[in-house]
Amino acid sequence: MSKLFTPIALGPLQLENRIAIAPMCQYSADGNGMATDWHTIHLGHLALSGAGLLIIEATAVTQEGRISPDDLGLWSDAHAEALKPAIESMRRYSPIKIAIQLGHAGRKASSEVPWQGGANLPVDNPRGWQTVAPSALPHAEGETVPVALDKEGLARIKEGFAACARRAHALGLDAIELHGAHGYLLHQFMSPLSNRRTDEYGGSLENRIRFPLEVFKAVRDAVPAPMVVGMRISATDWVEGGWDLEQSLVLTRELEKLGCQFIHVSSGGLSPQQKIPLGPGYQIDFAARIKAETSMPTIGVGLITEPLQAETIIQSGQADMVALARAILYDPRWPWHAAAELGAQVSAPPQYWRSQPHQLKNLFGPTKLGQR
């Protein structure tokens, strides 16, 4: 029996299978962070995929925290209203559970959209703005030098995360994932390569993880217990002297104490000096180590493209769930095809039941189709 298609619980959240759709930036908000029709279409068709969990893309908690000028935001009630139709549409037609990733880009903010090159937008560019970070260190030579955050700035951003969490709960979402990966603000605090502070938020590992843990606690305290809160991390910077797996284990154990209910294990993104040995499932060993040495449910991600590959990861205990990104953009019915290959069943809307190939009579479970 396929274990990939068995139920799993993340805290009180019950998922019907172990496939998650990873948050994927669309750079398609209206220019002030407002969701558009694109989000209704994009999220809607992924909600029909048969996956157990869909995580909405990195959503900025403050205006300066956007990665690009066209990023999704949730820093006001108006942003929540703009996103509401997409969520209501998914709820109407799909049983999928829905999370949202909340983040702040820090020094990697003010960047052009990928299909326009993705380069840093300087402050004097009409689409650019002044960035902030733990320390006044640019992401790469020649890019905007960020302003080092003072105590007031830290408090403002922490409250931004909490306020967005409250809006996410009001929208009826099932879970929140804090973005602590890929070189964005929370990751910037963790890594000694980007954090050169001399106050209580810099220096030792205990100090460098202090702000991410404070943000997590603020979010956890902002929403009721039934709403699940987890975190995505980069397990390593892939740079000597940077953030690494041993430090990630310390962070995970501290998150456990604060009530974190899952850890989504990625890597890299902090430094242009990174050297990543890309290959199928190249990050799964990090998830496996965290799963083995903590009690935190783990989501593994990274070039997972084949059903048998995903099944092996779950069967072998390397991760509790797998997350798909580019693979499910390319094939939005990936869970259907995986269930067919693995001899499992998957949820599908009744409007699509007639698409079930004749030789796969039980792919969608027992169905009753009339004929006209």
230 pLDDT tier (thresholds 50, 70, 90): very high
364 within a domain of the structure (yes/no): no
161 within a domain of the structure (yes/no): yes
Q: Can you give the pLDDT at residue 369?
A: 60
Give the mean model confidence (pLDDT) for residues 85-102: 98
Residue (of 321, 317, 292, 291) closest to 304 by Cα position: 321
75 within a domain of the structure (yes/no): yes
205 within a domain of the structure (yes/no): yes
Q: Can you give the pLDDT at residue 23?
A: 98
307 within a domain of the structure (yes/no): yes
Q: Known catalytic residue: 184? A: yes
Q: Can you give the pLDDT at residue 149?
A: 98
Is the pLDDT assigned to residue 17 strictly greater than 80? Answer: yes
What are the helix (H) ranges across 60-124?
77-93
369 within a domain of the structure (yes/no): no
Contact status, residue 134 vs residue 154, Cβ threshold 8 Å: no
Mean pLDDT of the chain: 96
Is the pLDDT assigned to residue 372 strictly greater than 70? Answer: no
Is the pLDDT assigned to residue 367 strictly greater than 90? Answer: no
Q: Can you give the pLDDT at residue 155?
A: 98
- pLDDT above 70: percentage of residues in the chain: 98
Contact status, residue 21 vs residue 46, Cβ threshold 8 Å: yes
- pLDDT above 90: percentage of residues in the chain: 95
Contact status, residue 316 vs residue 4, Cβ threshold 8 Å: no
Identified catalytic residue from 27, 93, 184, 352: 184
Residues sharing a CB contact under 8 Å with residue 324, sequence separation 6 or more, in sequence order: 19, 20, 21, 22, 51, 301, 304, 305, 334
Tell me, what CATH number does 210's domain have? Answer: 3.20.20.70
Task: Retrieve residue 197's tokens.
Answer: 């502070």
34 within a domain of the structure (yes/no): yes
221 within a domain of the structure (yes/no): yes
Measured torsion, CA atoms of residues 259, 264, 266, 271, in degrees rounded to the nearest 10: -40
Give the mean model confidence (pLDDT) for residues 127-139: 98
**Domain that includes residue 299, residue range:** 8-355
Q: Can you give the pLDDT at residue 365?
A: 81
Give the mean model confidence (pLDDT) for residues 5-33: 97
Number of domains in the chain: 1
